[in-house]
Structure 1
Amino acid sequence: MLAMKSFARFVKPQGFVIVDDGLLPEDRHILSNHFDTIRFVPSKGVPVGACPTGGCWERLFTLSQENNDHYVIQLDSDTLTLSEPTEILECLAQKRSFTLGTSTGRETVGFSDAARFAHMSTSNHVQSHAERALANYPGHEHLKYVRGCAGFTGFAKGQLLPEKIQEFSTQMEKLIGKAKWHEWGSEQVTSNFMAANAPDSLVLPVERYQFWSPKVDNAKAMFVHFFGEFRFMGGMYVRQARRVIQQLSA
């Protein structure tokens, strides 16, 4: 609710779609009372074709279905919008896609460059395996990638094509093996690929659209992703959440 309301006070959506992977009836009732236009899509009913199931793939395909008709924005629940996100408003006005940047992904690069960077790591995570394999992807010379985050991504109408998602997933499964590709994290690789290859897409500046950790100063942040365990460290999420609630109440 905080993620949705803190964002919607600056960016007025047509409505919200929640990919429901286990909300209780009372949860849906509370959320429905707070938002005029909201739909709940059961995750088990989302068709993903030959792509992996779970691991947020249902989220990506729900976005794709919605993207047929209008601009879509993926908004993770562990985020807070602290002030007017000017770049997002500009992207909406310009019908331009965007994705959340990271400390190791501040701009789009070619597949070969992304693979070279990935080879500097020996991580066994699916994202690292996939990124190292990008140099072997068919037609990689003409493709781009960004080491971004799927948790806050926007796609202009018609840019998130399900057939392109399927094609990318099929090729990556061939390159790194089905077992590895079906691990949690492959959906983010796919989202990064789709965002990077959307026309004139923007990688949001990490100084203003941040991943928070105890060492990060978010005094200038417009948007903060309290990723994973960091939401529970140092009390920053609670302090910022209370501040947002006070602003909304006023």
Structure 2
Amino acid sequence: MREFSEAYLERTREGMWDDSRQALEPLALDSRERVLDVGCGTGELSRVLAAECPGEVVGCDADTDLLEFAGEHVPVVAGDALRLPFADDSFDLVVCQALLINLPDPEAAIREFARVSSDLVAAVEPDNGAVAVDSSVASEERLEDQARRAYLEGVGTDVTLGADAREAFTEAGLEVLETRQYDHERTIEPPYGEAALTIAQRKATGAGLADDRETMLEGDLTNEEYDALRSEWRSMGRDVIEQMEERTYRRREAIPFFVTVGRVAEAQ
């Protein structure tokens, strides 16, 4: 499973559910007594669950460094998603966000979620192949699409899982109740915050692309093609910084997430 830094999780999940929580309605959060957030990371979803649930919300993650941040908001327990340190039926809802896309066997994780749930299991998973970008820098959308496709070809897990999580739920023996879509939008516009400036600098230096180089080369991308892409990427980053200096840079990114909810067999 891939590991993520606290800064990465904060940057990519910042603002999720602030605009609407309608896609979470099938979880019936207002009636939950004990909820487990698996792969909670720094606790972005845990905080939302805690705000909506009258009962207890517990965060669980294998990365104890990330749990230090999540623990500021909810009780946390270190544990592996495939071997949860809880007894059967310990919770009435087990949920994860952007976790299954990083696992080689999502079905195995869902089975484990069902073991510790007496009622519902839910997964909030993106389709990273359907990300839409609109930018004031003409080349940014094309280059991000090219880099994304190269990354998807090389990554070892299904990071486009999205709505297809329904199949994994069914294979794990759950009754799929509903799937709802939530589009997480991230916007950069003036005035620019520190995070936006850091992203622009990483584009101009090619650092962000360099982080994914090994994965991208696992697919069909050649070293020569990667070098050409990185050169264009850095040029694009310089254009971003130039527009930022002129306060004309604007970027909108929409990532489709799918909330899939299933009921464990014992609760049918």
The normalised TM-score by structure 2 is: 0.28
Larger RCO (alpha carbons 8 Å, 6+ apart): 1
The normalised TM-score by structure 1 is: 0.29
Structure with higher Rg: it is: 2
